[in-house]
Amino acid sequence: MEKYIVSARKYRPSTFASVVGQTALTSTLKNAIATDKLAHAYLFCGSRGVGKTSCARIFAKTINCTNRTADGDPCNECDSCRAFNAGSSLNIVELDAASNNSVDDIRALVDQVQVAPTNGRYRVFIIDEVHMLSSSAFNAFLKTLEEPPSYVVFILATTEKHKIIPTILSRCQIFDFNRITINDMVNHLEYVANNEGIKAERSALGVIASKADGAMRDALSIFDQVAASSRGEITYRSAIENLNVLDAAYFSRLVDSFIECDVPTALLTYKEIRDHGFDSHAFINGLAAYIRDLMVTREESTRSLVDTDEATLKLMSEQASKCTPTFLYQAMSLCNDADLNYRQATAKTFLVELLLIKLCQLLSPSPIFSGDGEGQLKPIMSETSTGADMTATTTAANKPASTPMTAPNVAREPRPGVPAPDISRPRPTRRPILHTVSIIGNRSSQQQQEATPQIVNAPPLRESPYTLEQLIKAWNEYRDLDLTKRIVYNTMRASKPVENPDKKHCYTVTIEIETQREKLEEEMPNLLKFIHDKLSNDHITFELELNDGPSSPSTWSEREIIAHLSEENPNFKKFVQALKLSLT
């Protein structure tokens, strides 16, 4: 029985023509050989699996071949080629610098340089992962690399060119290998599948090529893995399941949901993705990348920026034509914000669901929210499932747009036919509902236009008397409600409200840094509601000011307090040093 050989070894390139995705580079090397203009040192750079070592071996084999073909490839029949194929050639020496990176290893190599070739014109020294050599080994190699014997050719290969010292780079001809495109990989995998008698869908080979991330060796290894699990027939579904790849079809379905403003479908698709075990952060990045690809496929001139197979590119172009550039730009921005906030989010699933809801709002034709293009969502429940009209009630936002923080003014003019409120009745402790909007499923467009927001009557604002001490007490009570909000807690502990003599019920809060201001602004709506309810006064407001001068002692940390005491009182410093005290 013939011994099994993995595809990465079996189909390793043996001629320049069989090297995948490096046409320009191999043509340059063939021309150099044909004109007999060989450099004494070459540096092959590129990511893993792109053919650096394979090209080095082909180059070494070709320059020693005595009977090259018309295409400039080795004949595989002369004594030199046969010795190379058998692995017994003394003219080609390979050194793995990852495990042989000392000065002694390089000195042994330099000694071999002095031996002339026994069969052929050149002795070729291939040093793989050359960036792993130590600094002293590089220095020991410099002189030989600069002026080797006429029969010596050095070929250095590396995945990290930036780690090689400039004096080495200056002595070599540098060749940068490209990442292999998905189309080139798919074509080569199709060739391998035909040779092996394996049926493979081109879309499945596209999945394998995408997973390989530009490395042909990785693509062949993954191909073997999927072929083994598929029993000789590689389908798109088997490739997706075997490699646990997040299918681009999911993203396509989601974009269709965004276009149709269909929130339920988007949320259910995300649930399906989570049920398959995919990470939510990887999902956000994958969705962002897919939307980016849609953007560049809108224009013929930029479609080359998408590295995918032709069938997928055609489908993406059709879907991109349904999207406006503004929608795609805003969608990418929302995905980027979600990516930045993901690590800090406590409810990560909620963050992703909120992202999907926002994306479904971008193309909504009936905006009812202000800013960001957010609009009316498609009703989540249909009229047939409820049996009645659905009424949605929105509450006026209590968070102001910018500092100073002020409570919103409420229109109290009664509508015709509605009696004025009785101010003798007890005032409610919650903020009043200001707007009521009715959304009825399957209405005509004329009926929807008639369903405009209506302002309802609201009780007057409370204005009970209070003292500054009562305000500070309420301030401290709110501060102590949630000790997990460390920035808010420390800010409210160090910065107390100070009465503004020019504005009634207005208090100034001086803070030290911008981060504190941002966090306190976020907290301000809840803080105002708590203070208003506690003191029964809806006119209280706060203004946030940044401290431009030196920090206040009230905001000092424990270390700053100890440093100040040590500076003011030398005996205190001696006391701390004598007892070897430290702040933990």
The two three-digit tokens of residue 54, written as one number:
């394979």
Condensed to tens digits (0 to 9), the pLDDT of residues 527-572 reads: 898 998 888 888 899 888 887 665 555 545 556 566 666 766 777 7
Res 444: pLDDT: 42
pLDDT for 287: 92
Give the contacts of 7 (CB within 8 A, at least 6 positions apart): 192, 196, 220, 221, 223, 224
- CA angle (16, 17, 18) in 5-degree steps: 90
The pTM (predicted TM-score) of the whole model is 0.56
Look at residue 291 in the predicted model and tell me its pLDDT.
92
Residue type, 364: S
Answer whether 177's CB lies under 8 Å from 50's CB: yes
Strands (E) across 214-300 are located at: 233-234
Residues facing residue 43 across a β-bridge: 156, 174
Residue 577 has a pLDDT of: 75
DSSP designation for 537 = B
Amino acid at 544: L
Q: How far is CA 192 from CA 65, 123, 538, in A?
A: 28, 33, 76
CB atoms within 10 A of CB 88: 8
At residue 569, the pLDDT reads 74
Q: What is the predicted pLDDT for the residue at 500?
A: 86
Q: Which domains does the chain possess?
A: 7-176 (3.40.50.300), 182-243 (1.10.8.60), 248-361 (1.20.272.10), 468-555 (3.30.300.180)
For each of the chain's 584 residues, which pLDDT tens digit applies? 567 788 888 888 888 888 888 888 888 888 888 888 888 899 999 888 888 888 998 898 888 888 888 777 888 888 888 888 888 788 888 888 888 888 888 888 888 888 888 777 888 999 998 899 888 888 888 888 888 888 899 999 998 989 888 888 988 999 999 888 888 888 899 889 888 888 888 888 888 888 888 888 888 999 888 888 877 788 888 888 888 888 888 899 999 999 888 899 999 999 988 888 888 998 999 999 999 999 988 888 888 888 777 778 888 888 888 888 889 999 999 999 999 999 888 899 999 999 999 999 888 765 444 444 444 445 544 444 444 443 333 333 344 443 444 444 444 444 444 444 444 444 444 343 333 333 333 444 444 444 444 444 556 888 889 888 888 999 898 888 888 887 888 888 888 898 888 888 899 888 877 778 888 888 888 889 899 888 888 889 988 888 766 555 554 555 656 666 676 677 777 777 777 666 55
> Rounded to 10 degrees, what is the CA torsion of 69, 72, 76, 80?
120
Output the pLDDT for position 553: 54
**Residue 416 has what pLDDT?**
46
As beta bridge partners, residue 155 has 42, 126
Q: Are 349 and 274 in contact (CB under 8 A)?
A: yes
